[in-house]
Amino acid sequence: MSSVREATFELLRAHRMTTIFGNPGSTELPMLKDFPTDFSYVLALQELAVVGIADGYAQASGTVAHVNLHTAPGVGNAVGGLFNAQANKAPLLVTAGQQVRPQITFEANLTNRDATLAPQPYVKYSHEPPRAQDVPLALARAIHHASLPPRGPAFVSIPMDDWDADADADLARNVLARGLVGRAAPDPHALARLARTLAHARRPVLVAGPDIDAAGGWSDAVALAEKQRLPVWATPAPGGGRIGFPEDHANFQGVLPPAIGALSQTLAGHDLVLVVGSSVFPYYPYLPGPLLPDGAALVQITSDPGEAARAPAGEAIVGDVAHALAQLLALVEPSTREAPPSRPAPPAVEESQPLSGSAAMAALAAAWPREGIAVLEAPSSTLALRNRLRLSAPGSYYFSASGGLGFGIAAAVGVQLAQPQRPVVCVLGEGSAQYGITALWTAATYRVPVTFLVLRNEEYAILKWFSELPLGAGGERATGAPGLDLPGLDVAAVARAYGVPSREVHQADELVDALRDAIAAQDGPRLVQVPVAPGMWVE
């Protein structure tokens, strides 16, 4: 008779989930004891880093990643990461240890009281099985929930005395044999109607969202834009966790602004807004205005029923995004509309000391490797990076779609573990770097060859920029707020202490050389820090 532990590891093997990302405590040791040799355990030193690494790994591999946490305090530390993973639609199985069953009711030390509430509302499923024998079934259910659209984290709390209990052999065997297919085709009639609407539209526009990349729909999105001569915008940067359309393509126009009024103004003159693989829309600052340009209709294609339901305007078609694009492409005829306008090249940068964020991004563009992947958490240089790199291959960009910091360093480690053949460059603000800083130790210890580029501007630049916007109820600004300066924060020195070879450079040509060297290094991570001038960098 096999134990719950053996049945669980069989289940994880069947799902090819043989890597566990974790930070262990006493309540997890019974699960981890006699750890099978065909499994690997990736240790991170704090739970936000654990979840971030698994988030990057899950997104870049397209598979469910397993996160193992330490009862209540571990889950508590992980919640910010779960918030990010849910927004990123990263499929995660999240497990946490729990006190032994005989000691839960009187709340012995480290009992995870109301364990299923702890990760809410950032998980799709949260469960503590009523019997030890139900652990494999609960884990299978969580894996299925995580991988069905919209993908995201699912949680199971497991009492530590369950692992050595006898498994229910029949249940375990049946659970192991199950397979689910979750990519649902959209309604063909709705797509046929959309094809007709598109044919009759005078000036349609395509807005490309992150799920085009996640679904593998990139080439059909390009073919559709070319066949229909559609100008293409990327969904606003705050919610664009991935890039869904090549940003050097002749039809590509830029990244939409993340505010209601500015967005509809940018799309003025279009009579049909086709949004694919994005929410409508990931706005952040509330700068009011009409939701849609005058006279425009909007149609959204999404695999996420919640995203369809909450859109404030337009129609929605729910179904797999790649499938929808392929079907729509087959239904439309080549258009004779005028070709979309071409987008100007980024302006030349001016030499200054310290460098501007734009000059730092121009240096990064000069050193950019073929097949490079950018993981980005540098708020005031986000748009400059998008504009200078013009990333144009699938799976080349990861950004936390939630706005929660602590994603960058960790996710870069996970992306690199999932994509060992492609160079990963993680661009960080020195403030953002602090939330997941311990993931540098994981990068160094597991020799994960990420290049970290830290932009050191000695402030929370984006918050200073926000403070100048009319964010208040009456449109007032939030000037005079404390806590927006970061003097003396030397990430290169901290990184050295975690075992990451690091240097600081000042000139643009030094930066290009330092980045090239760092990217070429295969034996582990490197960090390059560059002082940059304060402010926001858009171009």
Ligand X SMILES: Cc1ncc(C[n+]2csc(CCOP(=O)(O)OP(=O)(O)O)c2C)c(N)n1
The residues that touch ligand X, with contacts defined as CB under 6 A, are 80, 378-380, 403-406, 429-432, 435, 457, 459-463
CA separation for the pair 2, 36 (Å, rounded): 15
Q: Compute the least distance from the CB of residue 94 to ligand X, in Å.
A: 18
Give residues with Cβ within 8 angstroms of 222, minimum separation 6.
245, 246, 249
Give residues with Cβ within 8 angstroms of 426, minimum separation 6.
374, 375, 376, 377, 408, 409, 411, 412, 450, 451, 452, 453
Q: Quick one: how many helices (H) and strands (E) in the chain?
A: 19, 18
Nearer to ligand X, 163 or 407 (CB): 407
Q: Compute the least distance from the CB of residue 417 to ligand X, in Å.
A: 23
Nearer to ligand X, 228 or 457 (CB): 457
Nearer to ligand X, 135 or 461 (CB): 461
Angle at 442 between CA 438 and CA 445, to 5 degrees: 130
CA separation for the pair 502, 496 (Å, rounded): 6
Closest by alpha carbon to 416, among 369, 361, 375?
375
CA separation for the pair 510, 363 (Å, rounded): 9
CA separation for the pair 69, 524 (Å, rounded): 26
Amino acid at position 30, single letter: P
Nearer to ligand X, 20 or 79 (CB): 79
Q: Compute the least distance from the CB of residue 430 to ligand X, in Å.
A: 5
The neighbouring-strand residues paired with 3 are 166
Nearer to ligand X, 141 or 456 (CB): 456
Nearer to ligand X, 271 or 458 (CB): 458
CA separation for the pair 183, 169 (Å, rounded): 31
322: left (phi over 0), alpha (psi -120 to 50) or beta: alpha
Q: Compute the least distance from the CB of residue 394 to ligand X, in Å.
A: 27
Nearer to ligand X, 100 or 486 (CB): 486
Q: Compute the least distance from the CB of residue 529 to ligand X, in Å.
A: 12
CA separation for the pair 485, 467 (Å, rounded): 13
Nearer to ligand X, 373 or 405 (CB): 405
Can you read off the two tokens belonging to residue 4?
């719950």
Q: Compute the least distance from the CB of residue 143 to ligand X, in Å.
A: 28
Q: How far is CA 430 from CA 110, 155, 378, 459, in A?
A: 35, 32, 8, 8
Q: Compute the least distance from the CB of residue 466 to ligand X, in Å.
A: 8
CA max distance for the chain: 74
Q: Compute the least distance from the CB of residue 489 to ligand X, in Å.
A: 8
**Reduced to 3 states, what is the DSSP secondary structure of residue 31?**
helix
Nearer to ligand X, 175 or 411 (CB): 411
Using Cβ positions, the residue closest to ligand X within the complex turns out to be 429
Q: Compute the least distance from the CB of residue 504 to ligand X, in Å.
A: 15
Nearer to ligand X, 245 or 537 (CB): 537
Kindly report whether the peptide bond that precedes residue 344 is cis, defined as omega within 30 degrees of 0: no
CA separation for the pair 321, 213 (Å, rounded): 9
Kindly report whether the peptide bond that precedes residue 39 is cis, defined as omega within 30 degrees of 0: no
Q: Compute the least distance from the CB of residue 366 to ligand X, in Å.
A: 21
Nearer to ligand X, 55 or 459 (CB): 459
Q: At what angle do helices 508-520 and 357-367 cross, to 10 degrees?
A: 40
Nearer to ligand X, 20 or 427 (CB): 427
Q: Compute the least distance from the CB of residue 405 to ligand X, in Å.
A: 4
How many CA within 13 A on the CB side of residue 143? 24
Kindly report whether the peptide bond that precedes residue 449 is cis, defined as omega within 30 degrees of 0: no
Q: Compute the least distance from the CB of residue 377 to ligand X, in Å.
A: 7
